[in-house]
Amino acid sequence: MEVDAIIIGAGACGLMCAVQAGYLGKKVIILEKGAKPGAKILISGGGRCNYTNLLSSTEQFISGNKHFAKSAFNQWTVYDTISFFEVNGITGKEKTLGQLFPDGKNAKDVVAMFVDLCQDLGQEIRCNAEVDSVRKVEDGFEVEYHQHSATHVLRASKVVIATGGLPIPKMGATDFALRLARKHQINVVETAPALVPLTITGKDEEWYAQLAGNSVFCEVSNAEISFEENILFTHWGLSGPSILQISSFWRPGQTININLLPHENISTLIEQERNQQGKTLLSTLLNRLYTKKLTEALGKYLPLNKPVAALTKVEIAEIHRTIHQFVVKPAGDKGYDKAEVMRGGIDTAELSSKSLECKKVPGLYFGGECVDVTGWLGGYNFQWAWASGFVIAQHL
Ligand SMILES: Cc1cc2nc3c(=O)[nH]c(=O)nc-3n(C[C@H](O)[C@H](O)[C@H](O)COP(=O)(O)OP(=O)(O)OC[C@H]3O[C@@H](n4cnc5c(N)ncnc54)[C@H](O)[C@@H]3O)c2cc1C
């Protein structure tokens, strides 16, 4: 055995795992198929890397077992992430809703921090090294990989699968973890794109397309959950933070509800306007709340050219319904090309929540996005990647 463990994937989880293992005096090798480590960290948060969230708890994660991640989050908290980054020269700045970004630095600095730490600790990151198979042998594992068309084999008693999820195939995302799991009869929870824009087709397509580029603060909800952030109209449907958030809870065929005025009541605003200036047109009132384009588009449903004093009770009820309960039936989502994360993955029932070791295959660990623990938008997914990487390192 040349090393204590082989880590497959130099993403957020694999890099954190290598660094933490190094602190404990363990020698690891990371095998990374890409030409450089941390490719997804580099594009995260629009290149600024929203690396954790101050509000993080298990509440902001979707998983077959809501309690599974508790142990990892107790072992590695948000404050551990913050101080780890600080000690290594990156202080955090909250943008909104607890989202922490590097202050005056960016995603490149985050990757550089991990690469430097790996170097200082003597942990090798071998790039352009795509793993083809992991075989159980008597005293551990044989990992076969190819690098520049030559095939190599490495052996270690422990192997960490940190190969991420399916989003952004053109960046080299693979289903390696899922394939390996199935080969070892490890259950995989059905996967799907999450934090992904939603599409609208058919008769409503044009209505949305005319609004492309318009953004509005909304409450977006379904029977399960609601989010208050902006939505963005696009040529093919809906995007923006609150749509990405609800997409993780949406299933094909379902509707979502959009409240276009979450903190006010349109019926009350109409009533007040009637009392002050009854001649005001409904369009004038709506133009105070929305872009001109959105008001015009709402004209498909509302009597924009009527003075508020002339609106009937039925019309006001209809306006109220349209503004506060705008029902959308998405045709689908934009798929893994545009998704930020993958929902589902390695069934948590197959793993120890304390160590993330596979119950059926001792010595094999799964961490990060390939596991059925999916965070909301806002730095939660990195918090899971760091925490799971830390936890695994404690057991190598
Ligand atoms: C556009 C975008 C923006 C995002 N922004 C944020 C954000 O701001 N905040 C946040 O919390 N989350 C964000 N995310 C999600 C976050 O990037 C992921 O949840 C996180 O990177 C998962 O870490 P990971 O280590 O599990 O996987 P990854 O970071 O995906 O790393 C997996 C690595 O494994 C390698 N690999 C795969 N198969 C093999 C193989 N067979 N052999 C060798 N190597 C292999 C891959 O090349 C990759 O480098 C964003 C995602 C996207 C797509």
pLDDT tens-digit readout, 156-165 = 999 999 999 9
- What's the rounded mean pLDDT across residues 19-39? 98
The string of DSSP codes covering 4-16 is SEEEE--SHHHHH
Q: Supply 131's token pair.
A: 């793993």
- What's the rounded mean pLDDT across residues 88-98? 96
Residues of the chain with CATH 2.40.30.10: 197-334
1 has pLDDT over 90: no
Can you tell me which atom of ligand 1 is nearest the CA of 13? 25
Look at residue 151 and give its three-state secondary structure: strand
Distance 44 CA to ligand 1 centre (A): 9
User: 197-334 has which fold?
Assistant: Elongation Factor Tu (Ef-tu); domain 3 (2.40.30)
Distance 343 CA to ligand 1 centre (A): 13
260 backbone φψ class: left, alpha, beta (φ>0; ψ -120 to 50)? alpha
Summary mean pLDDT of the chain: 97
Distance 174 CA to ligand 1 centre (A): 10
Distance 8 CA to ligand 1 centre (A): 12
Place of tokens 């107790």: 74
- Nearest protein Cα to ligand 1, atom 13: 44
Probe target for ligand 1 pocket from 19, 30, 40, with the most ligand atoms within 8 Å of CB: 40
pLDDT in tens, 179-233: 999 999 999 999 999 999 999 999 999 999 999 999 999 999 999 999 999 999 9
Can you tell me which atom of ligand 1 is nearest the CA of 46? 3
Distance 164 CA to ligand 1 centre (A): 5
Distance 368 CA to ligand 1 centre (A): 8
CATH says 5-193+341-393 is which class? alpha beta
- Is-contact 231 215, C-beta < 8 A? yes
Q: What share of the chain is helix, strand, coil (3-state, %, to 5)?
A: 35, 25, 40
Q: Supply 359's token pair.
A: 């119950």
Distance 41 CA to ligand 1 centre (A): 7
The pLDDT confidence band at residue 2, using thresholds 50, 70 and 90, is confident
Identify which of 112, 79, 54, 66 has the alpha carbon closest to the alpha carbon of residue 349: 66
Distance CA 127, CA 32 (A): 5
Pocket of ligand 1 (CB under 6 A): 8-14, 31-34, 39-40, 43-45, 49-50, 130-131, 162-164, 167-168, 172, 174, 176, 340-341, 368-369, 379-382, 385
Task: Report which DSSP code applies to 171.
Answer: G
Can you tell me which atom of ligand 1 is nearest the CA of 388? 26
- Is-contact 28 5, C-beta < 8 A? yes
Residues of the chain with CATH 3.50.50.60: 5-193+341-393
Can you tell me which atom of ligand 1 is nearest the CA of 131? 42
